[in-house]
Amino acid sequence: MKLTKLGHSCVLVEEAGQSVLFDPGGWAERSLIDSVTRVDVVVYTHDHGDHFDVEILRNLIAKFPDLQVVCNGEIQQQISDASVEVSTVEETEMIKKFEAPHEALPIPGAQAPAENGYHFLDAYSHPGDSQHFSETKRVLAMPFIGPWGKTGDSTAKSLN
């Protein structure tokens, strides 16, 4: 398995002849995303701008026209509203969703978005901005920073 971090929450995972890009949002390094030579599937955990950016998705589709998107219903709706033509599903044979609720936001009245975590090939787990999940695979992309978390807590959770 080859993992390439492309800034913030964006990770390219290459395994078993597949190239899967997780959470290419607005805080990802666009020059790094542009340098990627193959993407079969893009996976979005939730619709916050640091995890999902419709313009980055448009650029990926232009470069990889057979791209498939795995995401929840909220993101499917945003993709449709933006008139982006792409196949969207909630999971595939290789990519299975798991319950991973977004952490509470420390802002009065702020609503956490709907979020899924995803397992890829039963070997890699990507929980987005969640630290509340019951199962992970061999490799875990644990979130270590955010207004809702602490590095020490994230480290302890990832070791359990």
**Residue 153: predicted pLDDT:** 57
Residue 134: the pLDDT is 79
Rounded (5°) CA angle 130-11-76: 65
Q: What is the pTM of this model?
A: 0.83
Residue 18 φ/ψ, nearest 5 degrees: -115, 145
Helix (H, G, I), strand (E, B) or coil at 12: strand
As given in the structure block, the two tokens for residue 111 are 């609503």
pLDDT at 155: 52
Range 2-159: architecture per CATH: 4-Layer Sandwich (3.60)
> Tens digit of pLDDT per residue, the chain (160 long)?
999 999 888 999 999 999 999 999 987 888 888 899 999 999 999 887 788 999 999 999 999 999 999 999 999 999 999 999 999 999 999 999 987 766 665 567 767 667 888 999 999 998 888 777 778 899 988 776 655 455 555 455 555 6
Residue 112 is predicted with a pLDDT of 66
Looking at the DSSP bridge assignments, the partners of residue 116 are 99
At residue 1, the pLDDT reads 96
Q: Which of 84, 101, 3 is nearest to 45 (CA)?
A: 101
| Residue spans per domain, the chain | 2-159
β-partners of residue 18 are: 15
Q: CA dihedral in degrees (59, 35, 24, 3; nearest 10)?
A: 150
